[in-house]
Amino acid sequence: MYAHQTHDLDDLTTSLPVGGFEFSPTAQAEAEAVLAAGPAVTYHRLLADQESQTTLLVARRVLAAFLAAEDPGAGPVTADALTALVAGARAEFAPTAARLTATPADRAVALRGRAPVALLAGCWLDTVSQPATQPALVVNRLYAQYFALKGEGRPQHSVPQRRRRALEDAGVLLPQPEEADFLVRAQARPLAALHGAFLLALSRLPAAFLPEVVGVQYAFHALGLDDLLNGTEPTLAVDELLAEYLELTERSDTGAQDRRRLAAAVRLVVRIEREQLALLAELVSYRAGLSVDARAAEIVERHRPFAGRQHKNVKIGGKLLSETFADPQFDLDAFMAEFRASRQLRPLRSGGCPFTRAVKFGGPMFGVFDEAEAAVFKEWAEAVAAGEPAGAPLRPDTSGDEQAAQWQRAVLAAAPPDVRFAEASPADDREFFHRLVNIEQFPNTLPLAAQTAEEGLERAELLFRHGAGGRYTDASWFDYTPEALLERVDRIYWDKLVGPYRALQEVPDRDEVIFHQKTFALGSLIDGTWAYRIGNHGRYHRQSDAMLFSIYADEMGRGELAKNHITLIRQVLASMDVQLPHIRSAEFLDQGELPDELYRFSIHQICLALFPDRLHSEILGYNLGIEMFGLGEMRLHEVQKLRRHNLDTAYEEAHLSIDNFSAGHARQSAEIIVSHLDGVRREAGEAAERREWRRIWRGYASFAWFVEHQLVNSLATEADTADDLVI
């Protein structure tokens, strides 16, 4: 069992209460269109679009279809029974996996067919750590494993990257899964896309389906199908995760239901992986049965849509090739027979034939086909030259299609009763905050969140002119160079954060100290939120992403509950006898400890966090502001005041340590910006770098806006209306 002693502050949550999912009416038709377009479109939408409510509705529909396949009331729910079930399935899978990877050719086919699932490893944990779930004990267990799967902040060491290298070793070169042509290049079958869509759907709604996330995490890694196919050791040890979660459910009001949901998810993963293995077996058998003529025909069919006028006067069977390929009645078998008999394949005295010469370096078709495709054509041309009769023609690949059709019908028919349609209209900041924290339940709030983020960023640009007057920040504009940025942050650190520090000669009374702590408490209860989506699958490639992901992991204690900053602030509040419901709960809407004027800062932070793609640059700037704010005079004064009244100082001291300006988060935040802009400049030029810099500095200014109360209030006359300046 994990070494952890539970105490009163531990969040032993095993599932979150979910009253339903609220979408805007427009999302309904959009989601229907995505699902109707087929498995490949569903897979791509779930991975490539992580910021729209339509994607979340697609996810809810996919989950409804897959989770209905297993009866949550059936089967065993004890740790021993579930581990036995999974161990038995793994033993069943092992011989087949070994057979499918016994030869290099079969291994390449199997790994390519598995890629749409294998490269998503751990995606269901992408946002399991979020404001609605932290600091639950099970969420931190899951996050520790997620951090390991992500290479501990080093993308090249992540499990998906290791599996990509295994694919490359097998001769399979693929784009990233989020790229538009990934499934085409992977020659993915609809069943593989649907299995991947289930995992991606779970990654979009993990708070609502926490028991299922635990079940999938356990079963996926305990089965270890990818390890069996790659001949590697298990990636993670997950038996303790299962045992601890089941133990937690024994103390939960929803424990019996949560155990059934987890068990159903485990059985579903066993079923999916069994279907995956059967699919791979069909693929290997199909590929092995293709004649060289069929393999050549397959390549022709794959490239035909891209063949155009460049063929000029080339004729096959007496007809211009450009006309043949454009014919809507194109007959592949007839064309291949004519191609076989054409002059293009007649042997040359000097070796080869006109077609294979054209494919080689210097020929008019060099670069059209990759090495594997060129090798097939060479083999085919040699067979034709040797007088070998034509082999069996290309037949359609139907691997897994029967099962895929069943899943697709279930997805299209899925109508989860907990989905409702309405426009978001929060009554006040408290309700808006509640919706943002519980964004999985209120996806219709996303458009309002995007609007609110943009308004806050635009408003903050006022500090480009006046930010030098800030007490803790300096958001005044300057032209970017790496040296200029580091000089600015150095000046802020010494002149505004450290230099002014003098120990307090008189410490306020206990009530005043507690009140002051409360003014920061709401922001502290969502510590790290600005970056919680930064490491998601589909966007975890840039060095700046990895660096910011590592900062978020530090904020969450890298899965160690005692180091989790949300745990630390709860400790501090407990030492003050401040009792608050969890911020996700309906009860928090009515809490009386934290005043209403505090909400706007936290609302802005969550609004930024929800859009890591469109507001990536702004998040980098905001991160610089908030990480530097953890240093210097203010924190040191708070530590002094808390100690005087015997109150917990863990939260303040953690930030003084981890945010240090030498090598901590404050310094790292500046280095992240330098790394990001260096990449922008090299890839897109100096003009793009300048545009990105302005966005980054808007993000920094938007943080400064909420902490520089005196400066902002003094600038009220420069705003369009005084209401624009309410903070």
**Residue 298 reports pLDDT greater than 70:** yes
pLDDT of residue 370: 87
Report the alpha-carbon distance of residue 492 to residue 6 in Å, rounded: 41
Place 80 in a pLDDT band, splitting at 50, 70 and 90: very high
Torsion, Cα of 13, 19, 25, 28 (10° steps): 70
Residue type, 485: L
**Residue 150 reports pLDDT greater than 70:** yes
| 711: exposed, middle or buried (Cβ count in 10 Å: 0-12, 13-18, 19+) | buried
pLDDT of residue 309: 61
The whole-chain average pLDDT of the chain stands at: 93
Lowest mean pLDDT among 7-16, 397-406, 593-602: 7-16
pLDDT of residue 304: 87
pLDDT of residue 3: 45
pLDDT of residue 2: 46
Nearest to 441 by CA among 427, 425, 420: 420
**Residue 147 reports pLDDT greater than 90:** yes
Report the alpha-carbon distance of residue 54 to residue 61 in Å, rounded: 11
Tens digits of per-residue pLDDT, 450-477?
999 999 999 999 999 999 999 999 999 9
Nearest to 719 by CA among 466, 477, 429, 468: 466
**Residue 71 reports pLDDT greater than 70:** yes
Alpha carbon 311 to chain centroid, angstroms: 43
Place 718 in a pLDDT band, splitting at 50, 70 and 90: low
User: How many CA atoms does the CB half-sphere of 419 hold within 13 Å?
Assistant: 22
The residue with greater pLDDT, 56 or 305, is 56
Report the alpha-carbon distance of residue 330 to residue 314 in Å, rounded: 17
pLDDT of residue 6: 45
- The secondary structure of 622-680 as a DSSP string is HHHHHHHTTSSHHHHHHHHHHHHTT---HHHHHHHHHT-TTTSHHHHHHHHHHHHHHHH
The residue with greater pLDDT, 307 or 331, is 331
Strands 21-23 and 419-421: parallel
**Residue 574 reports pLDDT greater than 50:** yes
Report the alpha-carbon distance of residue 270 to residue 554 in Å, rounded: 34
pLDDT of residue 8: 62
Q: Where in the chain are the domains? A: 26-288+401-414, 292-385, 429-725
Lowest mean pLDDT among 57-66, 400-409, 652-661: 652-661
Report the alpha-carbon distance of residue 124 to residue 708 in Å, rounded: 39
**Average pLDDT for 94-102:** 97
Contact predicate 206/50, CB 8 Å: no
CATH class, 429-725 region: mainly alpha
| Cβ neighbours around 278 below 10 Å, total | 15
| Cβ neighbours around 387 below 10 Å, total | 6
The residue with greater pLDDT, 367 or 222, is 222
If residue 324 lies in a helix (H) or strand (E), which one and from where to where?
helix 321-326
End-to-end CA distance of the chain: 47
pLDDT of residue 721: 46
pTM (two decimals):
0.93
Residue type, 369: F
**Average pLDDT for 138-157:** 95
**Residue 668 reports pLDDT greater than 80:** yes
Tokens representing 128 are: 């399991």
**Residue 313 reports pLDDT greater than 80:** no
| 670: exposed, middle or buried (Cβ count in 10 Å: 0-12, 13-18, 19+) | buried
pLDDT of residue 595: 85
Greatest mean pLDDT range, 71-85, 196-210, 653-667, 711-725 = 196-210
Tens digits of per-residue pLDDT, 587-645?
999 999 998 888 999 999 999 999 999 999 999 999 999 999 877 888 899 999 999 99
Report the alpha-carbon distance of residue 487 to residue 477 in Å, rounded: 13
Report the alpha-carbon distance of residue 725 to residue 714 in Å, rounded: 10
Q: Give the three-state DSSP class for 133.
A: coil
Lowest mean pLDDT among 71-80, 354-363, 441-450: 71-80
Place 311 in a pLDDT band, splitting at 50, 70 and 90: low
Contact predicate 321/311, CB 8 Å: yes
Residue type, 597: E
Residue type, 486: L
Contact predicate 390/379, CB 8 Å: no
Tell me the C-alpha to C-alpha distance, in Å, between residue 79 and each of 86, 125, 169, 211, 266: 11, 21, 38, 14, 11
Residue with tokens 């904020």: 555
pLDDT of residue 619: 98
pLDDT of residue 23: 98
Residue with tokens 């840039």: 542
pLDDT of residue 312: 64
Report the alpha-carbon distance of residue 684 to residue 679 in Å, rounded: 8
The residue with greater pLDDT, 470 or 75, is 470
Q: How many helices (H) and strands (E) does the chain have?
A: 33, 4
The percentage of the chain sitting over the pLDDT mark of 90, rounded to a whole number, equals 83
Tens digits of per-residue pLDDT, 473-484?
999 999 999 999
**Residue 722 reports pLDDT greater than 50:** no
Contact predicate 38/411, CB 8 Å: no
Tokens representing 262 are: 């987890």
Lowest mean pLDDT among 234-238, 301-305, 472-476, 532-536: 301-305
